[in-house]
Amino acid sequence: MSAPPIRKIVIVGGGTAGWMAAAALSKVLGAMPGLAITLIESEAIGTVGVGEATIPQIVHFNKLLGINEAEFMRETHATYKLGIEFVDWTRLGHSYVHPFGQYGIDMLGIEFHHFWLKGLALGDATALDAYSIGAMAGKAGRFYWPETGNPNSPLARLAYAFQFDAGRYARFLRRRAEEAGVTRVEGRVTQIEQHPETGFVTRVALENGTQVDGELFIDCSGFRSLLLGQTLGVPFLDWSKWLPCDRAVAISCTKRETGAEDQPLTRSTARKAGWQWRIPLQHRVGNGHVYASAFMSEDEATETLLAHLDGTPLASPNHIRFTGGHRTRVWEKNVVALGLAGGFLEPLESTAIHLVQSGIARLLAYFPSTAFTQVEIDRFNAETAQDYLDIRDFLVLHYKATARNDSEFWNYCRTLDPPDGLKAKLDMFRSSGRIVREHNELFTETSWLSVMACQGIVASDHHPAAALLPDDEVLRRLSHVRGVIASAVSQMPTQDQFLASIGGA
Ligand code: FAD
């Protein structure tokens, strides 16, 4: 006989993770009779207050919730994002875009970049950006929706994400979750009760005396990891050896006063002991400096940040400490952690909100009954650990693949011994220009190519099939692809024109 279904879900924490979970679970499971979802949050504690850049999967999350994009853009003061511009990562004075969407167009059944590599060998040194509609539109400040119905259109190779005000996004989701029946409880959780034999969490008690019982607890309490880390004692896997940045200082500022339009890009500029983000929203610019405390003091990091702002600061600097890594089991007993409570990898590729989203999808796929069978829990944990590992390797690539030798930090990064998975990818690309995408990992061939090729990893060969096409034909086709992309970009509206046209600004 099957065990009774879960009737009471308790979400502890109302940051981006908590409200994403509440909105999605109430949308998907809300129709189940007798299911109660409660979210507890403490305004006095507040949220981490950062987390504004996303990757294209967020578009699907919003669609799942039935969110109207124009309304969302308006209410969260969002902008579009076609990729990330990396400045000074390869060497000082160099920049490139890691775009969403694909480069060029596959030919003879093999990936476009092999023809680009052949072009390089023939002396055509055009940078990869010219073959990406996302990179070119981003740099030109233009935006349009992808044309999914027409595979021959360059717009079919475009993908986009959002940059939004995280506080507004949480409130936007909160309204939907409450309308779908989620109960919000305000207050600080001070006690957590566990079953004396199984150790399962049974109840949380708040400072004001309120008690909330549950069967499934979702820990969205941020870096505190109140249930998973503090109560159940699940250890943290520390990756700071490969990702030495462990601090951030963040601040919002006004937009440039010149009236210039922003590009639909997040910008990451490498600094002496880390990097600085710039995330342009409709009403302000989010900025932060991620740095390694072993190589730079808090004062110097703050000064560096403040010296590189577009406009006037809108608040005082927000200092955040973190360690790169994750809890070894993100689901333990009847507690599932989402967001910072489960782990954190620095925001270099804007992956944290995506990890919340994929955690929710995975929880729905392995949704437990009151039996909480271990086989599903183990599977959930193994898949989550793999996600973190794949993303870690991609982030480490950015630090490893650099020619910078102008500071102790960059010398450490350039000479570090890469994790095995990254090493195998680097070896393969160096040998033949091939990129191996393992087990449907989050970052595609485009992403790996972008960072490897643009940060100076040299492929000594290309796919033999590219050699079959005569040299002048390869050069002609490369030039044609560039021309098609440039022409398509010139016909796209600017981002501001586009936002105005959909009523999203
Ligand atoms: P939090 O926002 O910290 O929320 C925790 C919640 O738990 C709060 O509501 C708090 O009140 C509540 N809480 C805690 N303790 C208690 C208690 N005892 N009782 C009651 N309630 C409690 N992600 C991206 O995708 N893109 C980015 O660009 C990005 N940039 C980032 C930059 C930095 C420097 C950092 C640190 C993170 C960044 N992230 C980014 C990550 C992103 O901010 C988080 O993943 C996301 O906001 C989710 O946070 P959270 O909800 O887990 O935690």
Which helix H or strand E contains 10, and what residues bound it? Answer: strand 8-12
Q: Which of 43-52, 134-143, 426-435 has the lowest mean pLDDT?
A: 43-52
pLDDT for the residue 449 = 97
Mean of pLDDT values over 295-302 = 98
pLDDT for the residue 90 = 98
> 294 CB less than 6 Å from ligand 1?
no
pTM equals: 0.97
User: Of all residues in the chain, what percent carry a pLDDT higher than 70?
Assistant: 100
> 192 CB less than 6 Å from ligand 1?
no
| pLDDT above 90 (res 32) | no
pLDDT for the residue 478 = 98
Strands of 132-219 (E only): list them: 161-163, 183-186, 189-194, 201-206, 211-213, 216-219
Q: How far away, in angstroms, is 234 Cα from ligand 1 center?
A: 19
Q: How far away, in angstroms, is 48 Cα from ligand 1 center?
A: 4
> 384 CB less than 6 Å from ligand 1?
no
pLDDT for the residue 152 = 83
478 phi/psi in degrees, rounded to 5: -60, -45
Angle (CA) 365-371-373 rounded to 5° is: 60
Tell me the C-alpha to C-alpha distance, in Å, between residue 372 and each of 33, 215, 230, 331, 380: 20, 10, 21, 11, 12
pLDDT for the residue 213 = 98
pLDDT for the residue 261 = 87
pLDDT for the residue 315 = 95
Using one digit for the tens of pLDDT, what is the confidence trace for 45-76?
Answer: 999 989 899 999 999 999 999 999 999 999 99
What are the counts of helices (DSSP H) followed by strands (DSSP E) for the chain? 15, 21
ipTM of this model? 0.99
Q: Whose CA is nearest to atom 15 of ligand 1?
A: 221
> 50 CB less than 6 Å from ligand 1?
yes
pLDDT for the residue 7 = 95
What ligand 1 atom has the least distance to the C-alpha of 166? 47
Q: How far apart are CA 96 and CA 88, in angstroms?
A: 9
| Residue in 50, 172, 322, 442 to alter for ligand 1 test, most ligand atoms within 8 A of Cβ | 50
Strands of 215-368 (E only): list them: 216-219, 236-238, 247-253, 266-271, 274-280, 285-291, 318-321, 325-327, 331-332, 335-337, 343-344
> 274 CB less than 6 Å from ligand 1?
no
Q: Where does the pLDDT of residue 130 fall: very low under 50, low under 70, confident under 90, or very high at 90 and above?
A: very high
Q: Whose CA is nearest to atom 30 of ligand 1?
A: 51
pLDDT for the residue 349 = 98
Q: How far away, in angstroms, is 320 Cα from ligand 1 center?
A: 11
What ligand 1 atom has the least distance to the C-alpha of 43? 11
Q: How far away, in angstroms, is 17 Cα from ligand 1 center?
A: 7
Tell me the C-alpha to C-alpha distance, in Å, between residue 439 and each of 235, 363, 387, 423, 491: 26, 19, 10, 17, 38
> 19 CB less than 6 Å from ligand 1?
no
> 227 CB less than 6 Å from ligand 1?
no
User: Of all residues in the chain, what percent carry a pLDDT higher than 90?
Assistant: 93
Q: Where does the pLDDT of residue 123 fall: very low under 50, low under 70, confident under 90, or very high at 90 and above?
A: very high
Nearest to residue 426, comparing CAs of 397, 392, 402? 397
Place of tokens 């059944």: 109
Cβ neighbours, 10 Å, residue 213: 13
pLDDT for the residue 491 = 96
pLDDT for the residue 359 = 98
Q: Whose CA is nearest to atom 39 of ligand 1?
A: 51
Nearest to residue 184, comparing CAs of 220, 229, 227? 220
Three-state DSSP state, 327: strand
Would strands 285-291 and 274-280 be described as parallel, antiparallel, or unpaired? antiparallel
> 220 CB less than 6 Å from ligand 1?
yes
pLDDT for the residue 151 = 82
Mean of pLDDT values over 365-377 = 97
- Residues known to be catalytic: 81
pLDDT for the residue 438 = 84
Q: How far apart are CA 29 and CA 15, in angstroms?
A: 21
Q: Whose CA is nearest to atom 4 of ligand 1?
A: 15
Secondary structure of 76-132 in HEC code, one letter for each residue: CCCEEECEEEEECCCCCCCEEEEECCCCCCCECCECHHHHHHHHHHCCCCCCHHHHC
User: DSSP class of residue 4?
Assistant: P
Using one digit for the tens of pLDDT, what is the confidence trace for 153-175?
Answer: 889 889 999 999 999 999 999 99
Which helix H or strand E contains 28, and what residues bound it? Answer: helix 16-29
pLDDT for the residue 1 = 73
Using one digit for the tens of pLDDT, what is the confidence trace for 372-420?
Answer: 999 999 999 999 999 999 999 999 999 999 999 999 999 999 999 999 9
pLDDT for the residue 138 = 98
Using one digit for the tens of pLDDT, what is the confidence trace for 228-260?
Answer: 999 999 999 999 999 999 999 999 999 987 667
Q: Whose CA is nearest to atom 29 of ligand 1?
A: 51
> 450 CB less than 6 Å from ligand 1?
no
Mean pLDDT of the chain: 96
| pLDDT above 80 (res 31) | no
